Amino acid sequence: MSSPLILGVESSCDETAASVVRGRDILSNVIASQADVHCEFGGVVPELASRHHLEKIDWVIDQGLKQAGVTLGDLDAVAVTSGPGLVGSLLVGLQAAKAIAWVRGLPLLAVNHLEGHLRSVWLEHGEIPAPSVSLIASGGHTGLYLVRDDDTIERLARTRDDAAGEAFDKVAKMLGLGYPGGPILDRLAPSGDPEAVRLPSPKMSDGSLDFSFSGFKTAALRHAQAHNLTHAYPAPGEPGAPERDLIASFQASVVEFMVGRLMKVAAREGARAVCLAGGVACNSLLRRRTEEEASRHGLGYYAVRRDLAVDNAAMIAEVGRRLLLQGSTASWSVNADPGLEL
Ligand code: KG4
Ligand code: ZN
């Protein structure tokens, strides 16, 4: 079974998603986002998220199969995110996937969401020169991972507090701009001065290359409070020059911090390529700066395209494909694991 037909299911946070892949060909990639539901709260409300997953899961799976032109009877396996994520959200996708696999007598594949993000780059680009270093930056996680060869993934750095996307979301929230904050700040930043507000990068006292984003967020909050820029959602009117300067400065500081760490680790590990994955990989400045630095250091640059960067089920199916080939199927008792690590 070199190109198995796999249904992927994803519901770890606020996207309900289903995808059908044949080998590495994406036949469908359906994503129902709950951004509108959580917008006024400036972040994901777990109880609302799981309720909306329940409302959407059947429709999303149905659409995933229809758009791929297949039926449940054609599938070779079902892959589903088992963690990390919100437990109530994870359980919705997990139970749906278990039910389908059980009724159809198909192998069930339990996928780590973070490995999904990491492999999304391979799903799009095919083989990546090894060794490579991947920055996975999303709303819940931020870390650097060394892929030594196709099968070995090693975490080299993680965030010690907030995730990168979470910091974007919190800054947008404090300015009354809504959720998710990343795309909103990305759109506004080019009209501000990135050098207007100084937001210093954190230094780890133990010399580690771990990330920390809460300092950027707190410094941005102090600046916003001192200049009366904080608002409840929705902010009155369009953001003015002081808000845009803060946004541009925040984005530039966070991006330079991430790119600096990524390049340092890539040099230390003798990497041949750097990769960007996770929702924050959509950020225009992060993509541009990583590409520039990679080219300056003679490294390959692979950023996942935007519809595979945000939470999706095609990346889950891709990890499922690998698990199936390895014979690593899950048992029926597999549970949601909110703190699952990679
Ligand atoms: O990977 P993802 O869809 O979900 C998680 O696994 O968390 O990432 C969502 C995160 C949100 O925090 C969102 O604000 C951020 O990715 N994001 C961005 C951009 N697009 C999405 N951050 C910065 N710039 C963007 N263009
Ligand atoms: Zn994610």
pLDDT tens-digit readout, 105-152: 999 999 999 999 999 999 999 999 999 999 999 999 999 999 999 889
Chain-centre distance of CA 223, in angstroms? 28
Residues facing residue 146 across a β-bridge = 133, 154
Residue in this structure with the two tokens 């080299």, named with its chain if needed: 156
For ligand 1, atom 7, the nearest C-alpha belongs to 139
> Which helix or strand (DSSP H or E) is residue 29 part of?
strand 25-33
Helices (H) and strands (E) in the chain, counts: 11, 10
pTM of the model: 0.96
Which residue out of 38, 216, 282 has the highest number of ligand 1 atoms within 8 Å of its CB and is therefore the one to mutate? 282
Q: Per-residue pLDDT tens for 26-71?
A: 999 999 999 999 988 988 999 999 999 999 999 999 999 999 999 9
Question: What's the gap in Å between 168 CA and the centre of ligand 1?
Answer: 8
Question: Can you give the pLDDT at residue 112?
Answer: 98
Mean pLDDT of 201-205: 89
**Which secondary structure element, helix H or strand E, spans residue 269, and what is its range?**
none
Q: Are the beta carbons of 233 and 36 closer than 8 angstroms?
A: no
Q: Side by side, which strands form the sheet with 77-83?
A: 25-33, 15-22, 5-10, 77-83, 108-112
Instruction: Please check whether residue 43 is in contact with residue 169, taking contact to mean a CB–CB distance below 8 angstroms.
Output: yes
Contact 318, 27 (CB under 8 A): no
The pLDDT value recorded for residue 30 is 98
Res 209: pLDDT: 93
DSSP state of 82: E
Residue type, 205: S
Q: 14: CA distance to ligand 1 center in Å?
A: 11
| 282 CA: nearest ligand 1 atom | 26
pLDDT for residue 42: 86
Ligand 1 close to Cβ of residue 88 (< 6 A): no
* 55: alpha, beta or left? (left if phi > 0; alpha if psi -120 to 50): alpha
**pLDDT tens track for 218-255:** 999 999 999 999 999 999 999 999 999 999 999 999 99
Torsion of CA 242, 247, 252, 255, to 10 degrees: 170
Q: What is the pLDDT of residues 143-179, one digit of tens each?
A: 999 999 988 999 999 999 999 999 999 999 999 999 9
- Angle of the 113-125 helix axis to the 314-326 helix axis, nearest 10: 90
Q: Which residue has the higher pLDDT, 52 or 207?
A: 52
Q: Are 24 and 309 in contact (CB under 8 A)?
A: no
**Cα of 328 vs its chain's centroid, Å:** 24
Contact 117, 315 (CB under 8 A): yes
Q: Whose CA is nearest to atom 18 of ligand 1?
A: 182
The CA-based angle 100-80-112, given to 5 degrees, is 160
Ligand 1 atom with the shortest distance to the CA of 165:
12
Average pLDDT over the chain, rounded to an integer:
96
The answer to whether 82 touches 94, Cβ cutoff 8 Å, is: yes
Atom of ligand 1 nearest to the CA of 12: 6
116 pocket-lining for ligand 1 (C-beta < 6 Å): no
**Over residues 299-305, mean pLDDT:** 98
Ligand 1 pocket, mutate which of 113, 120, 175, 310 (most atoms under 8 A from CB): 310
State yes or no: cis peptide before 236, omega within 30 of 0: no
Q: How confident is the model at residue 6 (pLDDT cuts 50, 70, 90)?
A: very high
Q: Write down the residue that tokens 């109880």 correspond to.
A: 47
